[in-house]
Structure 1
Amino acid sequence: MDTGVSVIGSGQVSGTPDVLRVSLGVEHSAPDVASAVARVGERTDAVMAALRGQGLEESQLATSAVNVFQEYREPDSAPAYRASHTISVETKDLTGFGALLNAAVDAVGNSLSLHGLQFDVEDKTALLAQARELAFEQAKERAGQLAALAGFSLGSVTAIAETYQQEGIPRVRLSASKAAYDSALNITPGDHTVSVSLEVNFSWA
């Protein structure tokens, strides 16, 4: 069995977000599956057109999920089927959320729902590099202290395992209705934090 010490170090670095990702839902219920699917497709197209009208490109829009299911109804009630699409929106305009939401609401009214939004850093390379450095320094310091307490000298690194995390994504669901939101709706991005944990194994000198 190898001898030495294994420790975990953590590093956390914050950066300024430069991209906003929004998840919108479009839903419709109908007595049959075909009608539900057809209608939700039309409404999704309407939302996409409204968002393009706000200056978004095709590459910034995507249908990320499609669902169809039978709704629960009381016994002896006529069956109903609900179809839904999830639209993923990505924009560099961090202040334009209200205008985008209003455009989508105007297109389909109460068929729209807001699943969530996330401010993010598109390129995290530099942040991750800094977080790794902090994590390794912390691991080395802890290992050195443990080695001294055990009466050993710290040797070379024999293995490293990395775990990467980022801030949790807030998830909200709001029913949208026409004229419900101010186009100047103020959404503050704050800082985006990435965290790296390193499990580092050191041998004894």
Structure 2
Amino acid sequence: MDTGVTVVGSGQVGGVPDVLRVTLGVEVMAPDVASAVARVGERTEAVVAALRAHGIEGSRLSTSAVNVFQHYREPGTDVAYQAQHTIQVESKDLTGFGALLNAAVDAAGNSLTMNGLQFDIEDKSELLVQARELAFQQARAKAEHLARLSGFSLGSVTAIAETQNHFPIRRAYNASKAAGFDAAINVTPGDSSVEVSLEVHFAWA
């Protein structure tokens, strides 16, 4: 068994968000699977075209889920099928949420759903460097304190394990079956942060 001390240090650094991510969906009901799939496909294409016309690049539009299932109905009523297509939308325009949402509503109407939005930092590399440095400083300070308490001298580092977390600012909205939005809807981004935890093993000198 290695002698020494194992400690955990953490460092958290905040930054200003530079990307807005919105999760939109299109949801339709139909009496058969083929119709449900066809209708959700048409309306999804309309939403994507509207978003691209609004300035969203194709590389910032992606499908995150597609579902088709039988919708529960009371016994004795006609069977219906529900189709859903969920789209992840990214925008660098942090203040254009209302207009972007209106573009999607105009394209899909009451078929549009929205699962929420988040503000995030696209490139976290520099924040991670800073958080890692803070985490290591905290780990060393803990180890030095424990070494003094136990009457040992701190030696070299023999092992490090890292865990990363990031905390984007999230806003949740339920736009399901809504039929129009005020273009003046504004959302305000706050700080987003990343956190690094380091488990560090120091040998005794």
The verdict on a shared fold, with TM-score over 0.5 as the criterion, is: yes
Q: Are residue 182 (structure 1) and residue 173 (structure 2) matched?
A: no
Instruction: Indicate yes or no: 2:84 matched with 1:81.
Output: no
RMSD (Å), alpha carbons: 1.2
Q: Which residue of 2 aligns with 1:193?
A: 193
CA offsets, 1:38-89, max 9 Å, x none? 0000000111111112112211212221110111111222111100000111
Amino acid across the alignment from 2:139: A
Q: Which residue of 1 aligns with 2:154?
A: 154
Displacement after TM superposition at 1:171 (Å): 4.5
How far 1:174 moved relative to its partner?
2.5
Amino acid at match of 2:88: S
CA contact (8 A) 1:17 1:191 kept: yes
The whole-number CA distance in structure 1 between the counterparts of 2:179 and 2:29 is 19
Q: What does residue 145 of structure 2 align with? A: 145
Structure 1 residues 109-143: Cα deviation after superposition (integer angstroms, max 9, x where no partner): 11111111111111101000000000000000001
User: How many residue pairs are counted as aligned between the two chains?
Assistant: 204
The answer to which of 186-195 and 168-177 deviates more is 168-177
Q: Does 1:32 align with 2:46?
A: no
Query: In structure 2, what is the Cα distance between the partners aligned to 1:43 and 1:185?
Result: 23
- Maintained 8 Å contact 1:135/1:196: yes
**Equivalent residue number for residue 101 of structure 1:** 101
Match of 2:117 in 1: 117
Gap regions ≥5 residues in structure 1: none
The CA distance in 1 between the partners of 2:176 and 2:75, in whole Å, is 27
- Cα deviation, 1:152-192, whole Å, max 9, x if unaligned, reads 1111001000000011655443225333x222321111101
Q: Gapped runs of 5+ residues in structure 2?
A: none
Partners of 2:100 and 2:166 lie apart in 1 by: 26
TM-score between both structures, scaled by the size of structure 1: 0.95
* Identical aligned residues as a percent: 69
Structure 2 CA distance for aligned equivalents of residues 176 and 13 of structure 1: 39
